[in-house]
Every structure is written in C-alpha cells, then in structure tokens.
Amino acid sequence: MVALSCSDLADLRLRLNTPVDLNNWAVIYPMKFNNDARELCTTLQRVGPPMGMSVAVPTTHGLRGDSAQEYVGALHNCTGKQMVLLILPNNRADRYSAIKRHASVKMGLPSQCVLSRTLFKKQRLMSVATKVAIQMNCKLGGEPWNVAIPIKVITNPYSIGVLETSL
C-alpha cells in the first residue's frame, strides 16, 4: 500500500489542458436558493485556480419565482457576458428548453444549468463545482484534457510513409 502526502494529492488535482478564464459571467437563480448560489460561486472561485482557470466574482440575478419567463427576462440582463450559470429548482423540460433556446439561439450566450438539489449536499459541493467548472470551460472553448496517440512510420520495400496509430 502506498501512502500519499498532502502535496502528492495536490499534484493529482486536475489541471485543464487549455483553460479559459471566467472573467465576465452571471448567475441567475430563484431567491430561495440565494445561499446555495453564493456557496456555489465561492466554491467555483476556489476550484478554478488549481485547474488553471481564473474565476471572477459573477454578476448575480435573483428571481422572485422560477418560471421560464422570469429566467428568459433575466437573460436579457446578461448581454455581453461571457457565460451564464442558471440554478434551476427541478428538471422541467419546458423551462430548460426555453432557457437554452433563448441563451444559445437568440443571444449566442453559453449557458450552464445546475439543478438546485445537486447543491444541497455540502460535502459534495467541491466535486460538483469542479465538474461545473470543467463544463463551463469547455463551453467557452477550453480543452479539459487530451490523449496522446503515438504515431509511428512504417517503411518497407513495398510502401513508403505508411502511418499507423496504436491505441
């Protein structure tokens, strides 16, 4: 059995291959999830830098309710933002579709939705925030990791420069 020190564990943390800083972003959430939204944003700011991703303080938009119209209305306040994070109370397909259609098609704004129930277990918040940060980074054009596929050139008297990949 191998024992790992704290510094060894820190080295095992995920470092994004091509990180994109999150400088100008917003969070939209129903006011009843105000504390959860704040904790998620703080945790995103903690998990981002070790992955190479700087996460600035977001603009926040608290909603009185949780209707699709309220989310879409709040999206209008996010014009010019790099990304918007939306906290949803449940997985109602009509609300999700309206949000995604408006943000992506009408505004060209990358968006990341998170169900509120994933934020309730505080012992899992670091893991959730890490996964959310990776997804946001990808949607902004970042690259989480890459796979090196070795290529070797095979030469024989009957062929010249045949490429072969091995997986």
Alpha-carbon dihedral sign for residues 44, 47, 48, 51? negative
From 34, 74, 82, 86, select the one nearest 54 (Cα to Cα).
Answer: 82
Give the per-residue pLDDT at 103.
Answer: 97
Name which of 49, 44, 39 is nearest 13 in CA terms: 49
**Burial (CB count within 10 angstroms: exposed 0-12, middle 13-18, buried 19+), residue 86:** buried
pTM: 0.81
- The confidence score (pLDDT) of residue 159 equals 55
pLDDT score recorded for residue 4: 41
Residue by residue, pLDDT tens for the chain (167 residues) are 444 444 433 444 578 999 999 999 999 999 999 999 999 999 999 999 999 999 999 999 999 999 999 999 999 999 999 999 999 999 999 999 999 999 999 999 999 999 999 999 989 999 999 999 999 999 999 999 887 777 766 666 565 555 555 55
Neighbours of 121 (CB within 10 A): 10
Ramachandran bin of 148, using left for φ above 0, alpha for ψ from -120 to 50, beta for the remaining angles? beta
Query: Running DSSP on this structure, what letter comes out for residue 147?
Result: -
Can you list the pairs that 69-75 forms with residues at least 24 positions away whose Cβ atoms lie under 8 Å?
A: 69/98, 71/28, 71/95, 71/98, 71/99, 72/98, 72/99, 72/102, 74/28, 75/28, 75/99, 75/102, 75/103, 75/107, 75/109
Q: What is the pLDDT of residue 21?
A: 97
